[in-house]
A and B are shown apart, each in its own frame.
Chain A
Amino acid sequence: KAGVTQTPRYLIKTRGQQVTLSCSPISGHRSVSWYQQTPGQGLQFLFEYFSETQRNKGNFPGRFSGRQFSNSRSEMNVSTLELGDSALYLCASSSVGDTQYFGPGTRLTVL
């Protein structure tokens, strides 16, 4: 079974721009969670989607948003990028009653 895939793998943007990251979960997984990983803060939870509904949200500003499609694929969007948004963005998928399996991440650099 194919794992979680994320595109693009690397991204360079400038301050003020916006960015959209994509995640395709493991086949059959309906829950998708997003995390931000930085050297200083570690892995922090952004939000979780299940069957196109956001069920949980972390403590991030409204510039961070996401959505999930009927095929369980998910996107996250960051608007008005700041230097501090430079990070590895990780997507994880899970089925009911199971733990999360992570993708390789998208490394975002904001200049």
Chain B
Amino acid sequence: QKEVEQDPGPLSVPEGAIVSLNCTYSNSAFQYFMWYRQYSRKGPELLMYTYSSGNKEDGRFTAQVDKSSKYISLFIRDSQPSDSATYLCAMMNAGGTSYGKLTFGQGTILTVHP
């Protein structure tokens, strides 16, 4: 079983829709949670970075972390065709033997059609 599970999709939505992306995890030591966006043939681009449980909002993006359920979400409001990309969740322990190691989900392929 993978430490981080993410539905690979693909997910196709119309422009303007609200998109919900989710990841579950099994390692209770994860304390830092991130969402990256990756366009084809590019490196991952950081979208959201949160510590522990709670919500964080940045423009059209909202990240939620529920550590009790080991579940994180990313919501995209008013989705645009330019949001079409692969979305990766990533998690990290706090130091110790896990220096510099992000554990990623498989990524969800999102297409927003006009």
Contact = CB atoms under 8 A, between A and B. Distances in A.
Nearest to B97: A56
Interface stretch (B16-24, B53-61, B70-78, B104-112): B104-112
Nearest to B103: A45
Main secondary structure of the interface of A (DSSP, over half): strand
What band does the interface of chain A fall in when counting residues whose beta carbon is under 8 Å from B?
20 to 34
Contacts of A104: 42-43
A49 B41 CA distance: 25
Contacts of B34: 99
B65 interface: no
Contact of A50 (B32, B44, B100, B101): B100
Contacts, number: 59
B107 A100 contact: no
Given A103-B43, A105-B42, 20 more contacts: A31-B100, A33-B100, A35-B102, A42-B105, A42-B106, A43-B102, A45-B102, A48-B99, A49-B100, A50-B100, A55-B99, A55-B100, A56-B97, A56-B100, A56-B101, A58-B101, A92-B102, A99-B34, A99-B49, A104-B43
Q: Which 9 A-B pairs have the closest CB atoms?
A: A48-B100, A102-B43, A55-B99, A43-B104, A33-B100, A56-B99, A99-B49, A104-B43, A45-B101
